[in-house]
Structure 1
Amino acid sequence: MVELGHHQTQSKLEIAVERETLVFEHKVHMPPPGHYGYMQQRSPGLVGAIRIDLTRLHETWMEVLFPRQLDPGQVLGKWEPETSAQTLGYYLWGLLGLPLVIVGYPLLLIGYMTRFYSIQVDSAATRLGVIGIVLLSVVVWGVLSAAASFQFGVSGEFSLVEGVVAVVAASVVATVSAALAFLFSRIDGRATSILLAYPAGMTAMFLPPVVAALFEPTLQQAIFPASEDLAIEILDGPLSTVGLAGIIRDQFTLEGAGYVLMWLALSVPLGWLFGGLVAFANFIRPQRE
């Protein structure tokens, strides 16, 4: 009985030692506090998440001139200035980066939201497939054309032929753009996603209603005036500043297919913008696999 109790005691000790060893190894291999890998293993809450993002943004800025600021290694650790000149330059550079962090954080939030919704859309497109996307486009633009006709048409009249043509045109544009976005998103490479996938996705959002309006007069009453107002604001605003407003007004007329070209021209840079913000978000807070 004594010997059995001794074996039982030994077993408990061995289990305890093994547990302590595992805990010790976990602590050894866990990234140090302040390291992004350490932060990922905890649930910091909203305030903590904001603090982590701001810290990452500032460390990214510091990494431009100073080594081992962003994700420093566990062996060498974060670089710190040693001389007075290094200390002065280090803190001056840090102060210069504070305004950029303040400006960059809202852009980072937009990148997070864009990444979240793009993942949802990509997942839905994968489940629907091409046939599902086509059917969904027909239903959506059919309802849109019917609603616009009853709202803007004379006495609620609905032109069946014009409505069908508008639905087909919008569905074709939406399906082709969505298919291209889906195809480009499957090609490896961040540059492909930014330069091709996101512009195609924005085109799938913006272009179909404009194309449908070319064939459905009642849709024109809702889309074309708003497009003209937006074009005037852009021409009188940023494009006027860079000297392109006069050239565009001389070379292009906003009528018919001009509306399609306008929204296509807007979709591409907007796609680059949102794609770049998603890449920015992935760099600051990498997406968990």
Structure 2
Amino acid sequence: MGTSPDLLAAVKIDLVRLLGAWLDLAFDRPADEYAARGWRPDGAATRVAFWCWYALGAVLVAASYPFVLLGFWVRYVAHQLDRIAAGLGVLVVVGVVALVWGGLTALAWDRLPTAGFRAVLAASVVATVSVGCCWAFARHRSRALTLLLAYPFGVAAVFLPPVTAALFSPTLGNVVLPGSTSLAAWLLDNVLGVAGLAATIRARFDLAGFAFVGMWFGFAIPIGWALGLLVTVADAVRPQERGPRPRR
């Protein structure tokens, strides 16, 4: 962890870069970063437009910077997990996840009723497959695959096990499923209630059984994409140097 002056200096650099990128969208500034900082356009009308654009950018940058900080945190966590996977190997990571969930499944065999055992078993399968897919796509070092597939499967590894378990456990189901139904209804009424889309979804789909799993997997995709975009923005604002990848 850096000291407070170091953090403030890093934040200042981030804000200057973001504001500079915003100014470059509308004005042809010098390519040199230091020359661009002191650059001002010629002409009264252009100067007024410049300062209006500058003020708007300052507001937008201030509002968006907390999301950039979230991107830094997500990038740090993803980097640490990637280091673990690179050191142990993808198969070892998936094996550890399968071993942990398998142990929980074995404990559930004697200690839980049939419904509870099936819940833990289903959750273990979902978690293991999701983690395996996440690392399988991330290990190719393709930014597109990481953004489009690795992050969604990583989020699915968190979301889907409890939802899958809720389908088989009455106790967990009484907590997870009604909340999922309320969330789906709110989204249909407030987000998708345009051009009759909500009515079409309600007519064609019943939110029951494994439809809950599909619903939360559907949530995992945009959430994963959003996290990936935050990391992409964080890389653009404050690039992270990557050393050579450990050999497997």
Of residues 65, 86, 92 in structure 1, which corresponds to 2:26?
Answer: 65
Corresponding position: 1:269 with 2:222? yes
* Partner Cα distance (1:144, 1:116) in 2: 32
Partner of 2:245: none
* Partner Cα distance (1:222, 1:125) in 2: 34
* Partner Cα distance (1:196, 1:131) in 2: 21
Higher relative contact order (CA 8 A, sep 6+): 2
| 8 Å contact from structure 2 (residues 104, 120) kept in 1 | no
Partner of 1:133: 94
Query: Deviations for 1:72-122, whole angstroms, at most 9, x for unmatched residues?
Result: 437x93254233343233222212212211221121122112112222222
Tell me the amino acid that sits aligned with residue 286 of structure 1. P
* Structure 1 length-normalised TM: 0.70
- DSSP 3-state at the match of 2:32: coil
- DSSP 3-state at the match of 1:172: helix
Instruction: Give the direction of change, closer, same or farther, for the CA distance of 1:242–1:94 in structure 2 (3 Å limit).
Output: farther
| 8 Å contact from structure 1 (residues 145, 167) kept in 2 | no
Partner of 2:79: 119
- DSSP 3-state at the match of 2:112: coil
- How is 1:165-244 mapped onto 2 (pairs within 5 angstroms)? 165-240=118-193, 244=197
Instruction: Give the direction of change, closer, same or farther, for the CA distance of 1:242–1:263 in structure 2 (3 Å limit).
Output: farther
- DSSP 3-state at the match of 1:240: coil
Tell me the amino acid that sits aligned with residue 77 of structure 1. A
* Partner Cα distance (1:54, 1:92) in 2: 18
Partner of 2:211: 258
Query: Deviations for 1:251-278, whole angstroms, at most 9, x for unmatched residues?
Result: 2111101101110111111111111111
Of residues 101, 110, 119 in structure 1, which corresponds to 2:70?
Answer: 110
| 8 Å contact from structure 2 (residues 97, 128) kept in 1 | no
| 8 Å contact from structure 1 (residues 146, 163) kept in 2 | no
Tell me the amino acid that sits aligned with residue 22 of structure 2. W
| 8 Å contact from structure 2 (residues 152, 220) kept in 1 | yes
* Partner Cα distance (1:145, 1:211) in 2: 18
Shift of 1:229: 2.5
| 8 Å contact from structure 1 (residues 138, 167) kept in 2 | no
* Partner Cα distance (1:124, 1:73) in 2: 39
Paired positions, count: 236
Partner of 1:98: 58
Tell me the amino acid that sits aligned with residue 214 of structure 1. L
Larger radius of gyration: 1
Instruction: Provide the identity percentage.
Output: 40
| 8 Å contact from structure 1 (residues 107, 277) kept in 2 | yes
Shift of 1:137: 4.3
| 8 Å contact from structure 1 (residues 199, 271) kept in 2 | yes
* Partner Cα distance (1:213, 1:241) in 2: 31
| 8 Å contact from structure 2 (residues 166, 172) kept in 1 | yes
Partner of 1:83: 43
Instruction: Give the direction of change, closer, same or farther, for the CA distance of 1:116–1:241 in structure 2 (3 Å limit).
Output: farther
Partner of 1:47: 8
| 8 Å contact from structure 1 (residues 170, 209) kept in 2 | yes
Q: Out of 165-174 and 110-119, give the one that drifted further.
A: 165-174
Tell me the amino acid that sits aligned with residue 60 of structure 2. L
* Partner Cα distance (2:177, 2:102) in 1: 17
| 8 Å contact from structure 1 (residues 145, 216) kept in 2 | no
Shift of 1:225: 2.1
Shift of 1:243: 5.0
Shift of 1:168: 3.1
Q: Which runs of 5+ in 2 are unaligned?
A: 243-248
Q: Out of 86-95 and 56-65, give the one that drifted further.
A: 86-95
Shift of 1:170: 2.0
* Structure 2 length-normalised TM: 0.80
* Partner Cα distance (1:88, 1:238) in 2: 38
